[in-house]
């Protein structure tokens, strides 16, 4: 993995609009109605980690718009499409590399919209999306975080994402996803949050040692030095 991937990981950090996996208490409608088409799904697919979590709530969806060149411009286009006045949207922190926007509609529908800034390395773009999927899970169905944690344990990492705040947990998902795509932990470096997530993953590794896993164990040992 080239150095520019590490540099990109350094830039990944605060990417969420709302912090904390708390139940939404906002009853204000962001728009009159939501027109459903093929872009709207009723499952959150953490395909790199290997689990698809169905959205059981009625009239609740996720829409992943993928990667864009300009995160703010895409938001403007999205809000126009939905018929939403921008002043109705309130942010608690800036999101530079990805965004998750959870909206309620007067017709009873709810949707989490996701998009990220495209990076020259496709793997970086992929894990940015995985990061935002976790924020969507927190908005849509926080009780199903346990299902994602269970799958992470199957991958060999004894972690309960509910033990950490939302942003750190999203970063754990992001760093783990990058690792599962083939990037050794020793080659992942960045902000304090990235380092914290990486250290949590390294410390939580519990998968039995086997010949096929020898390289991964060596990689973990290098990081621990």
Query: Helix/strand/coil (H, E, C) string of 91-158?
Result: CCCCCCCEEEEEEEECCCCEEEEEEEECCCCHHHHHHHHHHHHHHHHHHHCHHHHHHHHHHHHHCCEC
pTM of the model: 0.81
220 — pLDDT class (breaks 50, 70, 90): low
Express each pLDDT in 178-208 by its tens digit: 999 999 999 998 889 999 999 999 999 996 4
What average pLDDT does the structure give for the chain? 83
| Structure confidence by residue, pLDDT tens digits, 59-94 | 999 999 999 999 999 999 999 999 887 665 655 556
């Amino acid at each position: 993995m080239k150095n520019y991937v590490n540099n990109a990981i350094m830039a990944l950090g605060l990417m969420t609009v709302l912090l904390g996996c708390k139940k939404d208490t906002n009853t204000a409608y962001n728009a009159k109605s939501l027109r459903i088409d093929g872009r709207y799904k009723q499952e959150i697919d953490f395909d790199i980690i290997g689990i698809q979590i169905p959205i059981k709530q009625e009239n609740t969806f996720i829409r992943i718009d993928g990667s864009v060149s300009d995160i703010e411009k895409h938001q403007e286009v999205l809000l126009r499409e939905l018929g939403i006045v921008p002043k109705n949207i309130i942010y608690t922190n800036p999101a530079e590399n990805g965004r998750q926007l959870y909206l309620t509609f007067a017709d009873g529908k709810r949707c989490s919209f996701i998009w990220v800034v495209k990076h020259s390395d496709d793997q970086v773009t992929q894990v940015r999306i995985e990061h935002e999927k976790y924020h969507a899970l927190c908005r849509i169905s926080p009780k199903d975080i346990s299902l994602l944690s269970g799958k992470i344990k199957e991958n060999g990492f004894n972690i309960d994402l509910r033990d950490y705040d939302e942003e750190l947990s999203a970063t754990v998902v992001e760093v783990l996803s990058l690792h599962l795509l083939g990037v050794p932990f020793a080659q992942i470096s960045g902000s304090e949050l990235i380092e914290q997530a990486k250290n949590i993953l390294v410390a939580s590794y519990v998968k039995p040692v086997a010949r096929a896993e020898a390289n991964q164990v060596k990689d973990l040992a290098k990081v621990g030095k």
